[in-house]
């Protein structure tokens, strides 16, 4: 695990440190250039070989640093470590994934994609390590699955997702149990059936588009079997039936809805809302560490039509 942390630390080295590194090596290269160039052949002893070899090595490191950290990482590829169990079983806590940062420069995100993005501030309230000292700038990335596209009307009834009134096929979705938030077990069918599954929809509440989690007795409350960002809590009981009666709204242009595959273990768009297009960083392509989990990520082009074996309520079968 120490090796994995070291690799991740190096991969996430700030650009400022890379520039300092390159400047220091360049200074050495410039300072040793005349000595290397002007030393006669018959005097090229151990010290000359050391400076010459170091100069060539540093030259290679400078080019590598510039190419990898100033070209590849910002525009094409980056690593990302899974910090939580929200994507179990697709991703486990501690997995290192390869992130394709170029794909959404020439194509639009698709439903079923596993996406890395910068979450909205309300998703990080209560987690000071995820926000800069200014209190408004988020400094972490999240990874979730893309469920709702611009123009979609998304609703959840007893755990079943509906896109424009049609049940969504989700073979990746699971319900889990855990004691330490690091290792997770898939619930048995009986446990899953007993798990409370609140309803969800996007509503226009008092002039603001908000995510609404609700049961037959409440709406956007703490401790009701769902998680809601503080910004969207509805604390007045008299407002609950009013909110529940509101019609589901479509996702506006330029915004997306993300959820974790571990549906009862993910704080996601159901609790903190939508993500704008400009906050999307890229698509997760594969797991590269730990080595036993090496492999391509499971993206699902599920569309809106139910497929054989889909989790569809009995009354729709």
**Residues classed as catalytic:** 86, 144
Give all strands of the β-sheet with 208-214 in edge-to-edge order.
166-167, 160-163, 154-157, 199-205, 208-214
Residue 234 region by backbone torsions, left for phi larger than 0, else alpha for psi between -120 and 50, else beta? beta
Closest CA to 224 of 193, 270, 173, 282: 270
Q: How far is residue 227's CA from residue 83's CA, in Å, rounded to a whole number?
A: 18
Euclidean distance between the first and the last CA atom of the chain, given in angstroms as a whole number:
47
Q: DSSP E strands: which ranges in the chain? A: 77-81, 96-100, 114-117, 142-148, 154-157, 160-163, 166-167, 176-177, 185-186, 199-205, 208-214, 255-259, 275-276, 280-289, 295-296
Q: How far is residue 9's CA from residue 18's CA, in Å, rounded to a whole number?
A: 13
């Amino acid at each position: 695990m120490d090796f994995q942390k070291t690799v991740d630390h190096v991969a996430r080295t700030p650009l400022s440190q890379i520039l300092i590194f390159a400047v220091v090596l360049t200074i050495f290269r410039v300072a040793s250039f005349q000595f290397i160039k002007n030393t006669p052949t018959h005097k090229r002893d151990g010290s000359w070989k050391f400076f010459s070899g170091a100069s060539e090595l540093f030259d290679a490191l400078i080019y590598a640093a510039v190419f990898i950290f100033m070209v590849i990482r910002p525009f094409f590829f980056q690593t990302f470590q899974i910090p939580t169990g929200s994507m179990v079983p697709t991703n486990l806590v501690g997995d290192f994934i390869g992130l394709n940062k170029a794909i959404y420069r020439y194509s639009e995100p698709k439903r079923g994609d596993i996406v890395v993005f910068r979450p909205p501030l309300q998703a990080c309230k209560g987690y000071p390590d995820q926000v800069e000292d200014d209190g408004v700038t988020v400094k972490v990335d999240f990874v979730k699955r893309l469920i709702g596209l611009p123009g979609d009307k998304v609703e959840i009834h007893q755990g079943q997702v509906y896109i424009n009134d049609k049940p969504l096929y989700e073979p990746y979705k699971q319900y889990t149990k855990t004691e330490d938030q690091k290792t997770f077990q898939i619930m048995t069918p009986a446990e899953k059936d007993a798990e409370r599954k609140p309803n969800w929809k996007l509503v226009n509440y008092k002039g603001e588009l908000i995510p609404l989690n609700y049961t037959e007795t409440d709406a956007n409350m703490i401790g009701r079997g769902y998680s809601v960002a503080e910004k969207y809590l509805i604390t007045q009981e008299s407002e609950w039936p009013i909110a529940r009666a509101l019609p589901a709204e479509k996702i506006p242009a330029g915004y997306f809805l993300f959820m974790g595959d571990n549906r009862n273990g993910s704080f996601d768009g159901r609790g903190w809302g939508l993500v704008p297009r400009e906050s999307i960083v890229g698509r997760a392509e594969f797991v590269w560490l730990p080595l036993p989990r090496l492999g391509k990520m499971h993206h699902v082009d599920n569309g809106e039509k139910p497929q054989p074996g889909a989790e569809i309520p009995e009354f729709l079968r």
